[in-house]
Amino acid sequence: MPADNLRDLHAFTVIAEEGSFTRAAARLGVSQSALSQTIRGLEARLGVRLLSRTTRSVSPTEAGERLLATVVPALREIDEGLAGLSELRDKPAGSVRISADEFAINHVLWPTIARFLPNYPDIRVELTTDYGLTDIVSGRHDAGVRRGRLVSQDMIAVRISPDVRMAVVGSPTYFGKRPAPRTPQDLTSHSCINLRLPTHGELFAWTFWKAGREQRVKVEGQLVFNTLSGVLTAALAGFGLAYLPYEQARNRLEAGALVEVLGDWRKTFEGYHLYYPHRRNPSPAFSLLVEALRAEAGAMPPMPAMPAIDPARASPRS
């Protein structure tokens, strides 16, 4: 491939990613007029229009989308091959992009990454919060993190967390005003704080398990958030009950700021897996991070039993 074509194709992918000639020009370090001329020349050589331009945005045409589907994986493979040369350096370098939900980023990935990065100052990690089943290849991510059963069969998957246990929690202030639920169905008479999954807009289902039977309850309340941190904050403030991963609430439970109910109905989801497509030459940066996550998961002790606290013994807080 002539060098000009390779350069122009790279410029095209950057424009498509940024959705703007101005931002793409700044990223590439060229003038906007020069970049426009580059794309016009590429379109002339190919005989098709690749980009639709408006006064506010730029987006690929149908032909542009087809070209992106071919070019992006090819350019990524070239980048990975060049990144492989960093094995010859004293310190590995490169970028790793990972898509994961909020809980996985904060409680599964971050503890390992925080210990990993100081040892590799030339490695950069980009974390994207995503609750959906995004195609990590078309999304230009190196890997994704999801619960085991949600990982596609055609991906390499590495388990990186224990099973995830859920808990229904509320503040002592809330329980000072309302009786504690004894069964999941009792939640229908409580104020509950919902989580709307930002990727596809659905409310996260409150699911319970006891004696081999699963039960789902549709709950309602005054508040809906699209982040777990928002749900936790509202629960601490006494606005209602929250359905959270136990690890998200553990410190607040141990401190007495929250109280768990329905402990004998806890639902446990399969642990998180890091997944990625089969590659011939993964970058050293990516391989090192995968090994760090794998090692961290292998060293994890079994999850301790989690005793539920009787809300009747929780005193309201001022």
110 and 207 assigned to the same domain: no
Domain boundary at 42, 58, 85, which?
85
Tens of pLDDT, residue by residue over 165-217, are 999 999 999 999 999 999 999 999 999 999 998 766 789 999 999 999 999 99
Domain boundary at 58, 85, 112, which?
85
CB 107 within 8 A of CB 275: no
Dihedral over alpha carbons 287, 293, 299, 304 (to 10 degrees): -160
231 and 284 assigned to the same domain: no
9 and 31 assigned to the same domain: yes
The reported pLDDT for the residue numbered 267 is 95
Tens of pLDDT, residue by residue over 65-107, are 998 898 888 888 877 776 666 555 557 888 999 999 999 999 9
C-alpha to C-alpha distance for 249 and 146, rounded to whole angstroms: 20
The DSSP 8-state label assigned to residue 105 in this structure reads: I
The reported pLDDT for the residue numbered 84 is 63
Tell me what the mean pLDDT of segment 116-127 comes to.
93
Assigned token pair, 282: 């993964």
Query: Which residues have C-beta within 8 Å of that of residue 138, sequence separation ≥ 6?
Result: 69, 72
Q: What is the mean pLDDT of the chain?
A: 85
Q: How many domains does the chain have?
A: 3
Q: What are phi and psi of 300, to 5 degrees?
A: -70, 130
| CA atoms within 13 Å, Cβ hemisphere of 4 | 6
C-alpha to C-alpha distance for 184 and 172, rounded to whole angstroms: 19
The reported pLDDT for the residue numbered 304 is 41
In the chain, the N- to C-terminal Cα span, in Å, equals 71
Tens of pLDDT, residue by residue over 284-312, are 899 999 999 988 876 554 444 444 444 44
The reported pLDDT for the residue numbered 317 is 37
Q: Which of 96, 30, 1 is nearest to 11 (CA)?
A: 30
Query: Which residues have C-beta within 8 Å of that of residue 214, sequence separation ≥ 6?
Result: 207, 208, 267
240 and 108 assigned to the same domain: no
CATH number at residue 24: 1.10.10.10
The reported pLDDT for the residue numbered 157 is 87
Q: Which of 141, 150, 146, 151 is nearest to 161 (CA)?
A: 146
In this model, does residue 3 exceed pLDDT 70?
A: no
